Chain A
Amino acid sequence: MNGEDSVATGRSSAFVVTAKKRKIQQITRKIGESALFLVAATVAIIVIFIFFFVARDAVPFFEIRGFREFFTSSDWYPADDPPRFGAWAIIYGSLMVTAGSALIAVPMGIAAAICLSDVIPFSVRQYVKPVIEMLAAIPSVAFGFFALVILAPLLQNYGGPILMWTWWIIASPFLLLAVIVLSELVSMSIQDDKHRKIAQRMYVSFFGLIALILLFFVGNNLQKIEIMTGTNALNVSIILSFMALPTIVSVSEDALQAVGRDLREGSYALGATRAETIIKIILPAASSGILAAVILGIMRSLGETMVVWMASGNASHIPDPWFNYLESVRTLTATIAGDMGEADQVTGSARFHVLFAMGLLLLVISFISNFISERIVVRQRKILSGQ
């Protein structure tokens, strides 16, 4: 007994922490935990506060003017007497430039991401990816200045030829592909090998001629277009797509990398080519991550203010026809930035609160999109971990 006791006391002096020390440890742990919790909670509370205060100033507008005018009319004359607050054209403008930038940035971004993760050598990728991500570091006012001073006059002076060459560059590969696939399909039913080859060649030249005529005809008509104003939806869409690209490329490249070597090697082991592996294995596996990247990129376009304020022309009307990207538009963000100075509480209440209504609308849209992309990312994690 005695011997054991002495061993126990020996241990206690060496390893067992005294009650006082334990207390101090517990307290410091509590302090550390609560400090971290406080920081995390502050961030969450800030978001809730922003939402609350924007909503608080937005609600009076709907109390004064109702919902109908804001969402259905396109008469935006906040400074006139009597004022009119029809924001439909402005909401439409926001959607239009966002859709336009997505049309450019999404295919380019995903293609660049695939190229980075699966096509070019790893050592090259290490250099290229940071360069693409650099795009995100350029301040938006610099993009806006570029849009206003360089791109807008360029579109006005050489709009037709630019459109024609863009059409040629984009349409040629697709038409080539279509011609080959079509002629294969049409000549498939011919049994005899020799005859099929001849028929195929004839079909290729026939469809090829049609494609060429189409290329020339559309290109020629595009060349005749004279862009009256360079500060238009097209200009803004192009610039916004540049700004959304780094987000889309970076996040979808991460998603493609996350697919892992095992799936790729399994696919190669089964004899699939690289193209088959990319299209049939990697893209489907990474699809939800890519979708999340796309939503993040679109949110970047929707929320951008400076570029749109400088380069969209800010005409609050729905273009005629509705898909005419060559007319100037006005967006929610630009309207908030542009009308803020005048719209003080002291000078006109509806005019002040309508800007908050627009801010609330933007907040709601971005919350919904964030929520969706969050869900998608969670789902992808579950799929990849095999649950």
Chain B
Amino acid sequence: MGRLGKTIAVIGFGVLVAFGQAEAKNNIVIDGSTTVGPLAKSFAAYFTKKYNVAITVSESGSGNGAKSLINKTCDIASMSRSMKPQELVAAKSKGVNPVNNVAALDGLAIVVHPSNPVRSLTTAQIADIYKGKISNWRQVGGPNAPIVVIQRESNSGTQESFKELVVGKEVPVTKNAETQASNGAVKNRVSLTRGAIGFLGLGFTDASVKKIAVNGVMPNPVTVKNGTYPLSRPLFFVTNGQPTGSVKQFVELPKTAEGKRIITELGFVNKY
């Protein structure tokens, strides 16, 4: 929600930053993924308190983060996927050299309504549900009820990762799939809709939705970190060139003890 407002705010702030660049860099602008958003915000709060550096965090989707970085309106693009080839080409043409700094690891949890008796699905079954080949819960051992497929908008890095990990990049998702704008919106719809299936960053799941085991493996910090959970992905803080100064301090937070504590607290998984 309010993506436009956020984008405008980011652009506005970007202009301010551009004009104020002659002075020493004591503020950082972060834009991008709604999945990385909570992590970026918690890091920012901690960082501001410790180093007295003002940080602006916007959540408008990984695509927007990449765009902002390419247009040099942000210092760090928080992304739940790596840059696409076209984005890399665009970055090069504008003299931007994107560097991926891993912020944390995240599992893509497949979630259903708590009343749904289905406990486990294979990646093939999930793919078939999202392709529209399976349209009733009965076909995967559930009750006789149509499946309400919920996906994210095309702007979402979570959507990109999901397609890459499960459905396949070139395969279209069923036209009946509903589209929601954020992890929170997906969780809300799934928690209120009996036949719904959706996917969320692991950190966003709570008791209002039911996580499903994928290929028999439940998503949790252990299975994500050791790679047994099939739908795992790294989250990035992408910077223009090797980070320096306060930006470097910020992207290296995940390696510090306090950073690790914040990551675990938010339900993400430490890489380091």
Query: Hey, which bits of chain A sit against chain B, CB under 8 A?
Result: 74-81, 84, 89, 141, 148-149, 152-153, 156, 228-231, 309-310, 313-317, 327-328, 330, 337-342, 344, 346-348
Contact B172 A315 (CB under 8 A): no
Contacts of B87 in A (CB 8 A): 346-347
Contact A341 B7 (CB under 8 A): yes
B26 CB-CB contact with A under 8 Å? no
B192 CB-CB contact with A under 8 Å? yes
CA–CA, A349 to B63, complex, Å? 15
With A141-B1, A347-B86, A347-B90 known as contacts, the answer to whether A341 contacts B60 (CB < 8 A) is yes
Q: Closest residue to A141 on the B side, CB-wise?
A: B1
With A341-B3, A342-B155, A346-B94 known as contacts, the answer to whether A317 contacts B176 (CB < 8 A) is yes
CA–CA, A230 to B190, complex, Å? 11
Give 7 CB contacts A-B under 8 Å. A81-B169, A153-B192, A228-B195, A315-B175, A315-B178, A338-B155, A342-B61
B181 CB-CB contact with A under 8 Å? yes
In the complex, what's the smallest C-beta–C-beta distance from B8 to chain A, in angstroms?
A: 11
Contact for A344 among B3, B67, B196, CB less than 8 A = B67
Contacts of A228 in B (CB 8 A): 145-146, 148, 193, 195
Contacts of B185 in A (CB 8 A): 148
B109 CB-CB contact with A under 8 Å? no
CA–CA, A338 to B4, complex, Å? 9
Q: Closest residue to A145 on the B side, CB-wise?
A: B1
Contacts of B175 in A (CB 8 A): 74-76, 89, 315-317
Contact for A346 among B64, B70, B176, B181, CB less than 8 A = B70
Contact B180 A314 (CB under 8 A): yes
Contacts of B173 in A (CB 8 A): 77
In the complex, what's the smallest C-beta–C-beta distance from B144 to chain A, in angstroms?
A: 11
In the complex, what's the smallest C-beta–C-beta distance from B2 to chain A, in angstroms?
A: 8
Contact A310 B1 (CB under 8 A): yes
In the complex, what's the smallest C-beta–C-beta distance from A46 to chain B, in angstroms?
A: 19
Q: Closest residue to B147 on the A side, CB-wise?
A: A228
Q: Closest residue to B90 on the A side, CB-wise?
A: A346
Contact A313 B178 (CB under 8 A): yes
B53 CB-CB contact with A under 8 Å? no
In the complex, what's the smallest C-beta–C-beta distance from A138 to chain B, in angstroms?
A: 16
Contacts of B170 in A (CB 8 A): 80-81
Contact A156 B192 (CB under 8 A): yes
Contact A315 B176 (CB under 8 A): yes
In the complex, what's the smallest C-beta–C-beta distance from A226 to chain B, in angstroms?
A: 8
CA–CA, A337 to B172, complex, Å? 21
Closest 6 CB pairs of A and B: A317-B175, A314-B179, A346-B90, A342-B63, A79-B154, A313-B178
Contacts of B70 in A (CB 8 A): 344, 346
Contacts of A346 in B (CB 8 A): 67, 70-71, 86-87, 90, 93-94
B194 CB-CB contact with A under 8 Å? yes
Contact A231 B4 (CB under 8 A): no
Contacts of B195 in A (CB 8 A): 228-229
Inter-chain pairs besides A80-B170, A344-B90, 18 sampled, C-beta below 8 Å: A76-B175, A78-B154, A79-B154, A148-B188, A229-B193, A231-B189, A310-B181, A313-B179, A317-B176, A337-B4, A341-B60, A341-B67, A341-B155, A342-B63, A346-B70, A346-B87, A347-B63, A347-B84
Contacts of A342 in B (CB 8 A): 61, 63-64, 67, 154-155
Q: Closest residue to A315 on the B side, CB-wise?
A: B178
0/1 string, B186-209, CB within 8 A of A gives 1: 001100111110000000000000
In the complex, what's the smallest C-beta–C-beta distance from A286 to chain B, in angstroms?
A: 39
In the complex, what's the smallest C-beta–C-beta distance from B117 to chain A, in angstroms?
A: 17
Contacts of A317 in B (CB 8 A): 175-176
Q: Closest residue to A346 on the B side, CB-wise?
A: B90
In the complex, what's the smallest C-beta–C-beta distance from B260 to chain A, in angstroms?
A: 31
Contact A328 B178 (CB under 8 A): yes
Q: Closest residue to A312 on the B side, CB-wise?
A: B178
Interface centre among A79, A148, A327 (most CB of B within 10 A): A79
CA–CA, A84 to B179, complex, Å? 17
Q: Closest residue to A345 on the B side, CB-wise?
A: B90
Contacts of B181 in A (CB 8 A): 309-310, 338
Q: Closest residue to A148 on the B side, CB-wise?
A: B188
Contact A341 B192 (CB under 8 A): no
Contacts of A230 in B (CB 8 A): 192-193
User: Within B146-166, which residues are at the interface with A (CB < 8 Å)?
Assistant: 146, 148, 153-155
Interface centre among B1, B146, B154 (most CB of A within 10 A): B154
